Amino acid sequence: MLTRGIANSGVRGTGELLSTVKFMVQTLAAAGELQRELTYDGLRAAAARP
């Protein structure tokens, strides 16, 4: 019984950890995409200058 409770809490903890890591990865990916867009817009604006 005790072993099963420990295993279940470990699985729940792992699931929460994976959820947090997934959220962090998505946030970093979104930040990277925003940075790429801003860089591209800046380069395009610089190229358009006379």
Dist CA 31 CA 43 (whole Å): 18
What's the confidence (pLDDT) of residue 50?
A: 75
Structure tokens at 48: 């358009």
Q: What are phi and psi of 49, to 5 degrees?
A: -70, 140
Q: What are phi and psi of 42, to 5 degrees?
A: -65, -45
CB-side neighbour CA atoms (13 Å) of 21? 6
Kindly report the pTM of this predicted structure.
0.58
pLDDT digits (tens, 9 = 90+) for 1-49: 445 555 555 555 788 899 999 999 999 999 999 999 999 999 999 999 8
